[in-house]
Structure 1
Amino acid sequence: MSRFFSWILSIIFIWGFACNRLEKGQVVAWVNGHPIYLSDYQERIRKNWMFKEASAQELEYRLKLRCLEEMIEQELILEEARRLGIQVSDQELEAELKDMIDLEAEDTQKVFQQSGTSVIEWKERIRKELLIRKTIETVLSYQVYISDSEIRDYYERNKAHFFLPKRVRIRQILVSEEGLAQEILAQLRAGADFGELAERYSESPEAKKGGDLGWVEPEQLLLALQEEIGRLLPGQISKLVESSFGYHIIKLEERAEQVQLDFEQAKPEIKKSLEEEQKNQLFNKWLEGLFKKARIRINYQLL
């Protein structure tokens, strides 16, 4: 079975589909009158990779408590969604599923058969996951606010971290046959247009753009390409560079040295970072409030 379908199977089991609702039996915790079943809890623990690493009994017990706490958190958020009237539409669900899995594929059907669950049950669990995310966004989005003064203060204290690194703008022709690569290189040496030959011969995705890779950081490229580009001046064409992908011919268009970003250039990145930090703080405070108001009973003997 592929890693992708193993991942699907893990989602199915982590959410505890193996047991029918009518056969769940004992309850490990009650959250405002809603049960968390022992069977769901045990299945979640069984699929939690951290327990495979835990050896000490005390550590294992703490992990079990944390696992149950996460299930309680989810139930509290779902209850808040019900209170606020937040729902996930069928259209939202289908859009999410479309990016995750092909439900008509034969391998997918085999996964569901082996898990003993149905597509309908799995969809409802994904709907719950979406509902949790949507509730958090709805509750927190209007509370998040970062002022320009906060952004500027952060920029002044961390200015050294905001810069554009050294970059190069290059074009590439990539072919799998050495003989063809030699012929192309000879044409380029004779004055042929690099972009036209890239469109005609190159096997890489950027061929339709004349081989233009745009601006890239040299460190993102193969080491052999880095070394060859380091020897080029703007406008020059490399020798053949062989790699596991084939034979490369590179044209260096431009170089750009490291540049310090001014405040306006760095502002969007800083704002996003500060908003995420504030969201995390607000989420923890909000969740703490839900716990304080909740009526929670735990059967510790079942842990």
Structure 2
Amino acid sequence: MPRFVEVSQVLLFTLFAGLSPTVWAQEPILLDEVVARVNEEIITLTDLKQELRRLRSSLRQENESPELLEQAFQREKRYLLKTMIQNKMLVQRAEEFGIPDSVEPDVGKILEEMREESGIPSMEVLDQYLRQQGSSLEEYRGSLKQRLIIDAFLQQSVYSKLTLLTPEIEAYYQENIERYTETAEVELQEILFLKEGADEAQLHKKAQEVLSQLQTGASFEDLAKRFSDGPTAAQGGGIGSFKRGSMAAPIEEVAFQLEEGAVSGIINTEYGLQIIKVVSQVPAREMPLEEVRSEISNRLYQRKAQPGMKKFIDEMIESTYIYVTPKYREEYDVTDF
């Protein structure tokens, strides 16, 4: 059986039931456009637009800049139709094994857990929230069920045939120990004296006077409120926690040399003079293997599964009737079909 057929005409849904003879004589009513066909099932333009909305909404959470959002959207959009076709193909095959029925209880359980964790009082309110995001509870349920069906099917067909030995996990852990090392972190307060518009000599004199008061036991918080030009002066100069590698070099060099509770000298930076206090410290820590074993196992299973997954999908494509309307072939990357 051919994998796809190049058909020039656009397939239409036509509404027949209840039409008068006059209406029957009119042009067909275009209710939706067929984008692709997978065996006996179709992907409509409405389906595609729904997934495009979902994609944009998902990317919006990761990209604050409109420009970056649009770039990411255009990049991911190219492969969206391919993913939709593959998903429909996988769900169809999963139905032969009765998998959709087996995941149904999990769908309700996950939705209920999501509602409770989000503090949403009812499913009706959850539906309202999802509609505000351009979706609905029905759409979300359908998407979740599809994901669970596909995961269960691939687990049964691909992942269950893989073996992963303890020495493999241990070797990966040792070879990638940097990945599983938590960076040292410090929580800081600052007193900042901005250089802009200030006389350099007077600025140094002011900073030295404040430092002298700190060295004789004055409250850092009180002096920050009185003298700091920083944005958190009113709160006592607290500027939060920073991991090694995330601060300006002059500040970081001093911050990680100080003990907890210690106050620095005057630090000369690009924007001004700073005095910092280390409120708390979290030293670098190698995460124990047992803490990351599950994450490593998943990573190695994914790596091992790739060759078998590709072979499995390719074989399914060969035995599946797939048609993509020509104009969508031009817009989306569907070269595999």
Q: TM-score, normalised on structure 2?
A: 0.49
Cα distance in 1, alignment partners of residues 219 and 138 from structure 2: 57
Pick closer, same or farther for the CA change 1:279–1:188 going to 2, 3 Å: farther
Question: CA-to-partner distance for each residue in 1:270-299, whole Å, 9 max, x for gaps?
Answer: 434313323545544443344344333444
Check if 1:173 corresponds to 2:189: yes
Letter in 2 for 1:133: R
Cα shift at 1:243: 10
- The structure 1 residue matched to 2:44, chosen from 34, 37, 41, is 37
2:137 paired residue number:
123
1:149 paired residue number:
167
Structure 1 counterpart SS, 2:188: strand
Cα distance in 2, alignment partners of residues 30 and 152 from structure 1: 46
> Max radius of gyration: which structure?
2
How many residues are matched? 249
Cα distance in 1, alignment partners of residues 186 and 112 from structure 2: 41
Letter in 1 for 2:314: E
Letter in 2 for 1:130: L
Cα shift at 1:72: 1.0
Cα shift at 1:94: 5.7
Check if 1:136 corresponds to 2:150: yes
- The structure 2 residue matched to 1:70, chosen from 36, 60, 83, is 83
Cα shift at 1:236: 3.4
Check if 1:251 corresponds to 2:278: yes
Question: CA-to-partner distance for each residue in 1:191-212, whole Å, 9 max, x for gaps?
Answer: 47989x99xx647597xxxxxx
Question: CA-to-partner distance for each residue in 1:148-198, whole Å, 9 max, x for gaps?
Answer: 122244456x3685674873x5342358999xx999977753347989x99
1:4 paired residue number:
none
Cα distance in 2, alignment partners of residues 123 and 21 from structure 1: 28
Cα distance in 2, alignment partners of residues 254 and 38 from structure 1: 55
Percent identity between the aligned chains?
20
Question: CA-to-partner distance for each residue in 1:115-174, whole Å, 9 max, x for gaps?
Answer: xxxx6xx33332232223222332345625421122244456x3685674873x534235
Pick closer, same or farther for the CA change 1:34–1:172 going to 2, 3 Å: same
Pick closer, same or farther for the CA change 1:243–1:150 going to 2, 3 Å: same
Letter in 1 for 2:84: M
5 Å matches for 1:230-249?
232=258, 236-239=262-265, 249=276
Q: TM-score, normalised on structure 1?
A: 0.53
- The structure 1 residue matched to 2:110, chosen from 89, 92, 101, is 92
Q: Choose between structure 1 and 2 for higher RCO, CA contacts under 8 A separated by at least 6 residues.
A: 2
Cα distance in 1, alignment partners of residues 137 and 294 from structure 2: 36
Check if 1:277 corresponds to 2:291: no
Contact residue 34 and residue 43 of structure 2 kept, 8 A: yes
Structure 1 counterpart SS, 2:245: helix
Cα distance in 1, alignment partners of residues 253 and 52 from structure 2: 50
Contact residue 165 and residue 217 of structure 1 kept, 8 A: no
Pick closer, same or farther for the CA change 1:263–1:126 going to 2, 3 Å: closer
Cα distance in 1, alignment partners of residues 50 and 183 from structure 2: 50
Structure with the higher helix share, 1 or 2: 1
Cα shift at 1:225: 2.5
Cα distance in 2, alignment partners of residues 228 and 218 from structure 1: 11
1:210 paired residue number:
none
Contact residue 232 and residue 252 of structure 1 kept, 8 A: no
Which region of structure 1 is more displaced relative to structure 2, 227-236 or 139-148? Answer: 227-236
Cα distance in 2, alignment partners of residues 279 and 79 from structure 1: 21
Letter in 2 for 1:172: L
Structure 2 counterpart SS, 1:146: coil
Cα distance in 2, alignment partners of residues 222 and 243 from structure 1: 9
Question: CA-to-partner distance for each residue in 1:216-236, whole Å, 9 max, x for gaps?
Answer: 642123445314325646763
Structure 2 counterpart SS, 1:36: strand
Structure 1 counterpart SS, 2:304: helix
Cα distance in 2, alignment partners of residues 203 and 298 from structure 1: 61
Q: Structure 2: where are the runs of 5+ without partners?
A: 1-12, 16-29, 57-69, 195-206, 225-234, 330-337
Q: Structure 1: where are the runs of 5+ without partners?
A: 1-19, 55-62, 113-118, 207-212
